[in-house]
Structure 1
């Protein structure tokens, strides 16, 4: 499964297939990894004995209780991990989602205490060598991202991130990040070409010292790696927990063709062993957002059109998940 790309299986749709059907889809399309945003028991049961690697999420609204009560953390791990592992191949627990992103400030003080309590519960279950505890970040944790070697975390987050990075390093856990070239492109079309965002550039677009970049994805990933290095944590692995491209919902870039090109090129790139210019030859574990178009998602129209599949299980466009 290590050589496979993952998908994010969101459930904010009124008409989605049953989890058992979704797991059959994952298997038939050779998708070897899946991220679920809550510990949905029916899904965790359906994933048993498939070998599919799983990221399971602790919801932001659960952080306060878990941060303040070790027994609550123990209960969460017992109910949502120990009850299913090892038949269900849980690889990471993501404690919160984009807690350091704008608008989520009310959760920030609970994040690291919750991670520590979940880690203590994992250790009590003697699972610390089998699965890792982390949290998922938006790219907005960066204050500077260009050039990639200049990647640096936002000044207002450094005091929060420094002990968090130390926690990851101490426990051998990866930095989990959501990376969307689509949003960077639509927010800065005057500076960024569509080909660069879609992995279609035939020649280097950015020259950063001795490193050359042909894709915005690599530049964004490397800016996060550089930011970790700047804080003295260059050894932390990077896992891309979301990346994708919407197929509809805006007035230009969100097309079926662009989404098809982006996601197929992303799969090809991730499975190529190229790595990124900052970590050449080191495959970046990546999860495509998302499995389905989800009609109950909040936000602008594009948010409901990131799916690889319609709720009826038909593909929005073809994606090849194998090299």
Structure 2
């Protein structure tokens, strides 16, 4: 007896063809960077417990440390690993080396460790190392070729985070363009990312902008606090915070380069809770305000004035203060948590008093948003009912 058509179509709804699904390494709106340039932070296993307790599902690391990959095994947390700048040149020069790296640091850990993305390089373009800049595009292509040969392009998304240093101008947003020195390396990458559906990744730091020019930048504007804001004279769009204005500046630069439909994703943003004497604004109070308001803004699941329908996603920097980071004092004070695992300041995380506290219904709903568990459960039960009913009937 042939299977009734109703059952066939029901099963098709339950198990859609995967090839038509766009790869997305970020299924929520709020993620976090788990940096580890420190000698006093919790072990990766304890970090997994902290992340689960504060309900953060999207995590990005800057390498592919196997201790971290092992700790994340079976956690359900979604992890973006980094191919660091140290590897970019050799990966560019050898497809075999790219395959070796992907097998060792990605494929061999799937599916138990839920790796969803690879960030190739970090802030390479505009950094001053011309050989590294020239190698970035080739490294991206070789990593993607390896994923393709391993049939992982439907599972892993490729990205490459940039600093705001790739822009010639960013104010007002409608005036933003890529630097000419960067554009020759940027355009091939943008063309490739447009073809494979990857986003434009940008690191956004209103803190750095504010500390460099506190006399002319309104602190409230940088911290998402009430203020008069600015009006872009070209678009007539109103901006009440620097974060949104920076994102729209990136969209403007992309449009000018011929890629106006590409999505912008924030791979780093945060505020230092302390710093050197000349680092104006680096206080725990400002860091708490910025991160609290950023979290609230992202949970609204809305876009920017220029792209109101494109939901903004961002990875906060960072999970911990990292005591071994070089540079100014602020570099060691971006953590939402201190080295001992206690919070640096309260931005509304729940579940910290008991790491085994179960999620509330609203949190469960947010955690599974975009997944298939809740909606497809109904489809599954419906399919079973139809199958049984038709079996008895026929």
Residue 221 of structure 1: aligned partner: 247
Is 1:256 equivalent to 2:284 in the alignment?
yes
Query: What's the offset of the Cα at 1:205?
Result: 2.7
Deviations 1:142-169 (A, max 9, x none): 0011111111000111111111100110
1:207 and 1:285 mapped to 2: Cα distance? 23
- The aligned runs of 1:95-106 (5 Å cut-off) are 95-106=120-131
- Equivalent in 306, 309, 319 of residue 347 of structure 2: 319
Match of 2:173 in 1: 148
Q: Which residue of 2 aligns with 1:14?
A: 39
For 1:53, which of 47, 55, 78 is the aligned residue? 78
Alignment partner of 1:308 out of 336, 354, 366: 336
**Secondary structure in 2 aligned to 1:27?**
helix
Higher strand share: 1
SS in 2 for 1:91: strand
Q: CA deviation at 1:4?
A: 4.3
Matches within 5 A, 1:170-209: 170-208=195-233, 209=235
Q: Tell me whether 1:139 sits opposite 2:164 in the alignment.
A: yes
Question: Which aligned runs of 4 or more in structure 1 are off by greater than 3 angstroms?
Answer: 103-106
Which residues of structure 2 form unaligned runs of 5+?
1-25, 350-362, 367-394
Superimposed CA distance per residue, residues 284-318 of structure 1 (whole angstroms, 9 cap, x where no aligned partner): 11011011111100101110011111110010001
Match status 1:32 vs 2:60:
no
**1:166 corresponds to 2:194:** no
Alpha-carbon deviation of 1:202? 4.2
How many residue pairs get matched?
Answer: 323
Cα distance between partner residues in 2 of 1:106 and 1:76 = 21
Greater alpha carbon shift after TM alignment, 185-194 vs 237-246: 185-194
**Do the aligned partners of residues 75 and 117 (structure 1) sit closer, same or farther apart at CA in structure 2, a change above 3 Å counting?**
same
Alignment correspondent of 1:108: 133
Instruction: Return the index of the structure with the highest Cα Rg.
Output: 2
More displaced stretch, 11-20 vs 203-212: 203-212
CA contact (8 A) 1:4 1:31 kept: no
Contact 2:28 2:58 in 1 (8 A): no
**Residue in structure 1 matched with residue 273 of structure 2 by the alignment:** 247
SS of structure 1 residue aligned to 2:321: coil
Structure 2 residue aligned with 1:69, among 94, 101, 106? 94
The CA deviation at 1:319 is 2.2
**Contact 2:126 / 2:182 at 8 angstroms: preserved in 1?**
no
Report SS of the residue matched to 1:232.
coil
TM-score w.r.t. structure 1 length? Answer: 0.96
8 A Cα contact 1:63 1:111, kept in partner: yes
1:167 and 1:250 map into 2 onto residues whose CA distance is 41
Q: Helix, strand or coil: the match of 1:56?
A: strand
Q: Distance in 1 between matches of 2:128 and 2:275?
A: 23
User: Following the alignment from structure 1 to structure 2, what is the Cα–Cα distance between the partners of residues 320 and 126?
Assistant: 41
Question: Using the alignment, how far apart are the partners of 1:120 and 1:310 within structure 2?
Answer: 40
Cα deviation, residue 35, structure 1: 0.7
Deviations 1:124-149 (A, max 9, x none): 11111222112110011000111111
- In structure 2, the residue matched to 1:233 is 259
Which structure is higher in helix share? 2
Deviations 1:19-61 (A, max 9, x none): 0100110000011111100001111122222222211100111
Q: CA deviation at 1:107?
A: 1.1
CA gap 1:230/1:4 in 2 versus in 1, 3 angstroms: closer
* Corresponding residue SS for 2:142: helix
Shift of 1:279: 1.1
